[in-house]
Structure formats: structure tokens, C-alpha cells
Structure 1
Amino acid sequence: MADTVREIERKYEARDDGRLPDLTGVAGVAEVVNKGVATLDATYYDTADQRLAADRITLRRRTGGSDAGWHLKLPAGPDARDEIRAPLSDTLPAELAALVRSRVRDKGLVPLVRLVSERDVRHLVDADGALLAELSADRVTASRLTPEQGEPVGWTEVEMELAPGGDPALLDALEPHLTEAGLRRSAAPSKLARALAETGVARDGTKGAESADKKAETGKKAKAGKKAGKGAKGAGPTAGDVVLRYARAQIAAVVSLDPAVRLDAPDSVHRMRVATRRLRSSFRSYRKVLDRAVTDPIGDELKWLAGELGIDRDREVLTARIEERLAEVPDGLRAGPVAERLGTWSRTSRRGSRERLIGVLDGERHLALLASLDALSADPPLRPAADRPAEDVILAAVLRDYERLAALVAAALAAPPGHDRDIAVHEARKKAKRARYAAEAARPALGKPAKAFAGLMTELQDLLGDHQDSVVAREALRDLAEQAHAAGERDFTFGVLYAREEALAARREAELPALWAEVSREKHRAALRP
């Protein structure tokens, strides 16, 4: 079973003697405890073209020390990484293999580098003896494990690792004392990165040579950059530059969030789903930049993935909404086991859905989608408009999405209350979201006005979204009432909740004209124009 530990540390280049400074009395350090020297022997694994290293991910099998085993480290912010640990075994544990699948795909993992470290450890403790941080000096010897062996290289570095749950401000307080002792922050983000650089392990596993695949990929990216950057000299980015920057950011998010979703990290499913929606929306908004003959099939697959991601997410949001509304109901209007009925309904609906999602991420269809996203990023299907100045093309796309939105809002305002208006409001909400995403993508070209316009679209989307959430909640409440009635329970409270949701939807409908009058003012669209 794998365990996850948040690791917050800083690395410093040290003198060859590896002597550690005495930090007693500094920043709340009451005592520095000598924990002795340990020998750590680690083999680092990656694909031959170093797909993990390219994303600052490390995978190793280490013996020695107190945490021998398999370690997978994923970036988690400045100075921080999440280390997923699994027990020592001869082969890579399946749970760690799954966490790197979105990067590795069909490539095999091979041993690239062996690092042997003599680690001299000190514990910094407070007056109560509680651990604040661990200070260590590592005398490292790195050896290539690729077919072309080379001479080992060595260096000494110092690490300061915060104790679990510690305050990162401690690292800031200790750093001046380390630099005064002659240490300086390491230029390499990890031992592995330094080992790869100093031993000369190239992306194909050979020394100093670039693989054919890597050369082809580099050539494609250079070609794509050239195709997307033919605007007039000094005229700023082209439309292709702007759209590809946004699209590639969403592609990177889809890939990087895969391990977080598997680990059930907070909000990871929602963030991954939003990335798929943003990407699909950009394909539609900027169809004059990217060829829809290529992007439409990918968009269909993104819609499928978003749907799979939404199975749990939608039910969680809906349950939370009904629970919030239930908490507002006075005790005198509660009748029957309402909370228990809601809990049973929610659990029954979600049963097996997480297992289904993991199956989706492990499936060939998902891998094929990731491959198609890689291909689009490396060799984008740019249309002639991609070479034009970004301001012209991007502005036209944002305004085109706005005009579609305006037509749907007008239809929603004109529709009679009831089912027809609910459908019209929902359609307007989807177009508001697309207009918002188009404006987000436009920020490099249009600047602050695009940010402000995206804010207006978000405000409108929130109102329309609250209305749609009420529609969905009422459908669920009707279902809950029927289940309660069939079980011989009183269904009165579900009726109360239904009425409250109905009233909320009516309020949102009443608020829409005034909000739309503000959003649709000409000054907001005029501000977008350079």
C-alpha cells in the first residue's frame, strides 16, 4: 500500500568537506541532534527519452535509511513535492506504475542513474524536543546505467527538509545562516537532474546524443512555432501563438492532473474536467485558427472524458446543495428521516463510480486521447488566420461568441416560465462559459479588457448556473420524494425543498434582465478593441 508524504525542502551546494553549520539558537531551534551517517543507494527509473524528468518527476528504488522502498516524487509547488512511497520490492509496484501512466504511455521504464549517498543527518528540535527540520549533508556519487557507461561523478550538497506539518517560514529564517556558512541554493532542482546533466545521459539514454524521436519532436515544435509566428516583425504575437499557448496549457493540465485524480486529491477531478472543457471550448471558439477537421474528433473525446469525470463530481455538488438547503429548513418543517434518505440516495448513486473512473484512466481510449493531444501540440493543424496578428483574429472570435450568447439570452428572456425557459437558460449558460473561456485565452492579445470581460461572463455564468443547478436539484428532490413515499416515509420535507428551489430559480430569472443589461453594455465590448 502506497503512502503519500508532502516533502518541503531546499537544496544547497556545499563545500567538499560537507561540514554542517551549527544552527542551535536560531529561529526557535533549541538543540541540534546528531543522527549519524547512513548510506543510501538509489536507482532512478525513467523512459529512455526522460519523460518523467521533463516534468520534474522522479521515480526511484532506494535501499538504506529509514524509508527504504520505491519513491515517486511529484511537483507540489515551490520547494514542495509529494512523495508517494511503496514498500521495497524487486519490481515497480502497480500503484506507482499507474501514477506515471499518463506520462509514460507505451514506453518502458528503464534504470538510468544510480546515486549512492553518504548522508550525515542532524535533527533540529525545539525546546520540547519536537522535530522542526532535518539538516543533512550528502556526499553523492552518480553513475550512468545506460549501455554506454561513463565515469562516475561526485559532489556534496546540503538539504534542509521541513518536518511534516511545519511552517515553511522556518526555511526562510534558517537560510541566511546557511548562506553565511558558505552554502548557496542549488541550481539543480533535484539530485537526479544534476546527475543527468553531469553524467551526460541524453534523452535517448546515450551520452551527448539526441535521439531520433527527440529530434523529430524538436523539429515539429520548431516548425509549429514558425508556422504560428509569421506575423509582421515587431507586431506582437500571432493568433496561432495565443491560441496554442492556451491550448497547450490545458493539455498539460489534463496530463499532470491524472496522478492527482488517481490519488483522490481534493478538487483534482473538477480541475481536470475544467481543463478538458476549456480545451474543447477553445477549439470551437478559435476554429479559424485550428482546423476543425482535426480538432472536432479530439473535442468529441474530450467531451467523453469530461462526462466520465463528472459522474462523481456532479453528484457530490448536487448532494452538497441539497444538504445546505436542508440545513436551512426549520425543525417544524422536517418530517421523516430526510437526511438518512438523502445519504442513502447519494451513496447508492456513487457506488462503483470511482472504480469506473480509474478504469477509464487506465483504458486504451484515454491513452489514445493523450496521444492525439500530444500530436496536436507538436504539429498543430493551423489555418491561414493563425499567421495574422493576434488582436484582429482573437477579438473577432470573442465578439462572435458574445453575439451567440446575446441571441440565447434574448431567447431565454422571451421564453415563458417553465420547461422552455429552463432549457433556454441552460443553453445561454453554456454559451456564457464558452465566451468566458475565449476571453481567458485572449488575455495575452487583448490584455486587461479581456480579463474584465471574462469576469463579466463569469458573473453571468454563475447566475445562469445557479438557475440550472436549481432545475437539476428539483429533479433530484422529486426522485427522493418518490423513493420516500414508496418506503412508507413522509415526503413533505422534500416538497418544501422543492418549493424553495423553485422560488430561487424564479429569483434568478428576475435578476437576469438587470445583469444582462449591464453585461451587454457597449462600453464593455468597446474596451476590448485596441
Structure 2
Amino acid sequence: MADTKREIERKFEFIKGKSPRRGVPDLTGTAGITAVSDQGTVDLDAVYYDTPDQRLAADGLTLRRRTGGADAGWHLKLPVSPGVRDEIGVALSDTVPPSLAALLRSRVRRAGLEPQVRLLSSRSISHLLDADGALLAELSTDEVLAERGEATASWTEVEVELADGVDPGLLDAVEKAFRKAGLKVSDAPSKLARALAETGTAPPARPGDDRADGTAGAYVLAYLREQRDGLIAHDPAVRRNLPDSVHQMRVATRRLRSAFKTYRKVLDRDVTDPVGEELRWLAAELGVDRDQEVLRERIAAHLDELPDTLLLGPLHSRLRIWDTTCRTESRRQALAALDSERHLALLDSLDALLAAPPLLKAAARPAESVLPKAVLRDYERLAGRVDKALALEEGHKRDLALHDARKAAKRARYAAEAAVPALGKPAKRLAKAIKAVQSLLGDHQDSVVAREALRGLAVQAAGAGESAFTWGVLYAREEAVAERRERELPDIWADASDPELRAALE
């Protein structure tokens, strides 16, 4: 069984020329710290694992097998934000636990994990307590010896890790007190990073952002790298079933596919189209789980809005049974896709495409002359689909046309957002206007899908001898939502089709 905790900490080191023999200052009286309790010293022995080319270290992840101390075992640390990481712990074993290997699969792939460096630490621990004796933070002073082959390095490191629920402002107060005593925030983000740097084996630098040359190709490739990195980073979040993770991973796939199509004058579609088809497959596999999540949240929210007089039958239990049945299968499908060789091949193909991009002649031209035309081409495509939908009578055909317009809105919005670094405010304003259209059309489509689900829930309820009345009420409300969105569309579209928005890009 894996244990997960959110780790909010700050690492410090002694400023050169300042003797560590002075030790760590007494923090009593700093930001509500009323007592410092000595917890003794422990010896820690940690072996860090990575691929031979150090992919984990390059992305700021650490995987270690540690003995000694109260939390001996395997620990995987995933970056959340500067100074914040999620630490996932698994019981001690001789080999990398499968649960942790799965979380690393999008990065490790077929490369394998090997011991990279060993850290031996003598850790002195103190607890920082408030007036009631509650733990505010743990203060650790580590005497570290790093071993990598014949190379070694040693240093003293001080770490302050907050207890759960403590205001992060405490770390700022501690930092201020430490600066006066000759300590500074560590230049290295982790012990591993410092060990690798000081033994001469730092991970390779990530590709730089070459948008400074101003070409269309440089801007498009920078955008594609951001989305590829997002696709890889969201993989472990989906496996951990974190909120919104499936949605964010699907967005990365859609943005990549859209960019391939939008910027077809920059990248050769003979190369990008096959990759795009694989991205479409992955989005579809993930979509089942995401669509079910959205449906459940929508129906539950609308159910909560109804007055008690309209609530007949075991509604929440019926919804829970339906959702559990659907989500079990949809999540299995999503995880199976992530575990498949097809997914690994897709990630490899994205890496290969970015390493040797199939650039066309337009890629060498200035971004300001190429990107606006691509964005406006998708904008005109959206306009055509909206006009077509508005010309149809209400009903199934119009619903389908509005759904097609929604997909076109996503592509146009992504195109504009991708161009913002090059084109600035005009692209940003257009993206914002199109997003409003997309949101309205999205709510309309969600209403269409919700009605089908509500019909199914009503059938299930009736079959179980329950009242189907409330499901019918919700169905009628969803019809009203769809009608309202259709009435609002002309005005929202009028704002998005303002000639000034287009003129600013031309």
C-alpha cells in the first residue's frame, strides 16, 4: 500500500566563508515557534534510481530506496511547484515497486531504472512547536556524503519541512532568521541534484527555447514541446486519479493535434498526420472516463438544485450505482491505454518528431507573417460552422452541427493561444472571445449528452420499481438549458466575430 503526503519544505546551506560549526540558530520566538524539541540523530542510507540518461533528474523527480529512520522504504517525489512535492512511499523491497514503476512509465518507457548515486546522511532532527505543543515543522540538519562510483562529495544541509496545514509563511520567517546566521536557500532543488552536480554527473540540460530567432518554426516547435511535456507529466496524475488530471491530459493531446493541423504550412503533414491519429486514439481512450466524470458532476449538481418536493425515490444512491458501474470500466480502459505499447510508441514518435522536426519552407519565415494566416484560417472555419448551425431548425441535426462548431471553436482557440507569444494582445483577445463561444457550445453539448444519460437513469429506476419522476424533471431542465444556449449563441458569436478582432491580426 502506497502512502502519499504533500511535502512543503525549504532547503538551506551555509554561505561560503561562514563556518557550519556555528550551527543552526535557535528559532524560538520566530513566527509563533515557542519551543524547539530535540528528537535525536538517525543514520540514513539512500540509493537513488534513474534511467542511464537521467530522465527523472532532468524533470525534477527522485526515486530512492532508503533504510534508516522512521520511514524506511521506497520514495518517489513528484514536483508540484517550487518547494512543494508529493512524496509517495512504499514498503521496503529489493526491487522497484510496480506501483512506482507505473507512475514513471511515461518517462522511463523501455530504458529501465538503475542505481545512480548513494547518499549517506547523519540527520539531527528537531521539532518546531507552537504554544500548545503542536508541531509546526521539522528541522533537519544533514551531514551528507554522496558516492557515485569513485567520485564523492560531502556537504552540510539544513531542511525545514512544514507540518500539515501550517501557513507556508513560516518558511519565509525561518529563512530570514537563517540569513542572519549565515545560511541561504540552497542552490540545488534536492540532495540528488546537488550530488549529481558535485560528482560531475549532472543530468543533460533540457532543450532551450529558441523562439528568440523569431521564426514561425521556432514558435510552433516551442508550443509543441510544452504540450508534449504536459502529456508526459499528466500520465502519473491520471494513474493517481487526481482531480482534473484526465481532462488536462486530453487537452494536451487535443492541442498537439490541433497544432499539427493549424500549422500545416510549417510542419509536413505527411509526418504529423500519423502522429495526430495516434493522439486521437489516446484522447478517445481517456475520453470515456472524463465524459463520465463530467456527467456525474453535472447531474449531481442539478439534482442538488431541485426543491425537496421534486425529489422522489433513492436518487443519490441510484446515481452512485450508475456512476460506479460506468467509472469502473472507463477507468480500466484509460489505464489500459496508458499501459499499452501503443502509448509508449506515441510518446517515442513525439520525441522523434521534435528531435528532427519536418519543417517546411514557411518555418523559416518570420512568425508575424505566418502565424496570423494560420489562426485566421481556423477562425474562418469556425465561422462557417456556426453559420451553418444557426441556419438549421431546432432538433437533432442542429445539435450535431453545434457540436461540430464546438470542435472548430476549440481548434481556433488553441491556434490563437499558441500564437500569443509571437502575436501578443491581438491573439490573446481573439482567444478569449472564441473561448466564450466554446464554453456556450460546450454547455449545450453537455446538455445533449446529459439528457441521454438521464433517460437511461429513468429506465433503470423504473425497472427497479423506483419513481422515474425526478429524472424526467432533470431531463426537461436540460432541454431548457439547451434552448437557452441556442438563443444566446447569436449574441456571443457577434462579439467573437467583431471585425476589429480579425483586423488586429491581419
For normalisation by structure 2, the TM-score amounts to 0.95
Contact 1:18 1:158 in 2 (8 A): no
Contact 1:9 1:161 in 2 (8 A): yes
How far residue 325 of structure 1 moved from its aligned partner, in angstroms, is 2.0
Query: What CA RMSD, in Å, does the superposition of the two structures yield over aligned residues?
Result: 1.8
1:372, 1:327 → 2: CA distance? 46
Q: Are residue 169 (structure 1) and residue 169 (structure 2) matched?
A: yes
1:18, 1:142 → 2: CA distance? 23
Mean CA deviation greater in 330-339 or 80-89: 330-339
Q: Are residue 59 (structure 1) and residue 63 (structure 2) matched?
A: yes
Contact 2:48 2:117 in 1 (8 A): yes
Query: After the TM superposition, which segments of 4 or more aligned residues of structure 1 sit over 6 Å from their partners?
Result: none
Q: Which amino acid aligns with 2:425?
A: K
Partner SS state of residue 365, structure 1? helix
| 1:289 aligns with one of 253, 266, 275 | 266
1:514-529 map, 5 Å? 514-529=491-506
How far residue 486 of structure 1 moved from its aligned partner, in angstroms, is 3.1
Residue by residue over 1:195-216, the C-alpha shift from the partner in whole angstroms, topping out at 9 and shown as x without a partner, is: 111111265xxxxxxxxxx8xx
Find the counterpart in structure 2 of residue 136 from structure 1.
Answer: 140
Distance 1:141 1:502, change over 3 A: same
Find the counterpart in structure 1 of residue 364 from structure 2.
Answer: 387
Contact 1:139 1:154 in 2 (8 A): yes
| 2:470 aligns with one of 489, 493, 505 | 493
How far residue 481 of structure 1 moved from its aligned partner, in angstroms, is 2.3
1:16, 1:127 → 2: CA distance? 29
Q: Which amino acid aligns with 1:404?
A: R
How far residue 169 of structure 1 moved from its aligned partner, in angstroms, is 0.7
Residue by residue over 1:402-440, the C-alpha shift from the partner in whole angstroms, topping out at 9 and shown as x without a partner, is: 101111111011001101111111111110111000000
Contact 1:5 1:83 in 2 (8 A): yes
Q: Which amino acid aligns with 2:240?
A: L
1:156, 1:355 → 2: CA distance? 46
Find the counterpart in structure 2 of residue 185 from structure 1.
Answer: 185
1:86, 1:490 → 2: CA distance? 47
Unaligned runs of 5+ in 2: none
Contact 2:51 2:111 in 1 (8 A): yes
2:69, 2:277 → 1: CA distance? 49
Distance 1:119 1:501, change over 3 A: same
Partner SS state of residue 81, structure 2? coil
1:119-518 map, 5 Å? 119-145=123-149, 149-150=150-151, 152-201=152-201, 237-518=214-495
How far residue 356 of structure 1 moved from its aligned partner, in angstroms, is 2.9
Residue by residue over 1:154-210, the C-alpha shift from the partner in whole angstroms, topping out at 9 and shown as x without a partner, is: 11111111112221110011111101000011111111111111111265xxxxxxx
Distance 1:293 1:181, change over 3 A: same
Contact 2:286 2:333 in 1 (8 A): no
1:494, 1:31 → 2: CA distance? 59
How far residue 355 of structure 1 moved from its aligned partner, in angstroms, is 2.8
| 1:84 aligns with one of 65, 88, 91 | 88
Contact 1:18 1:138 in 2 (8 A): no
Unaligned runs of 5+ in 1: 204-213
2:434, 2:388 → 1: CA distance? 18
Q: Which amino acid aligns with 2:396?
A: H
Q: Which amino acid aligns with 1:65?
A: G
Partner SS state of residue 187, structure 1? coil
1:171, 1:330 → 2: CA distance? 48
How far residue 18 of structure 1 moved from its aligned partner, in angstroms, is 6.6
Contact 1:45 1:110 in 2 (8 A): yes
Partner SS state of residue 76, structure 2? strand
Contact 1:16 1:155 in 2 (8 A): no
Q: Are residue 31 (structure 1) and residue 35 (structure 2) matched?
A: yes
Partner SS state of residue 352, structure 1? helix
Equivalent residues, number: 502
2:332, 2:459 → 1: CA distance? 29
How far residue 389 of structure 1 moved from its aligned partner, in angstroms, is 0.6
Find the counterpart in structure 2 of residue 208 from structure 1.
Answer: none
How far residue 382 of structure 1 moved from its aligned partner, in angstroms, is 1.1
- Percent identity at matched positions? 63
Contact 2:121 2:142 in 1 (8 A): yes
Contact 2:45 2:118 in 1 (8 A): yes
For normalisation by structure 1, the TM-score amounts to 0.91
Contact 1:12 1:186 in 2 (8 A): yes
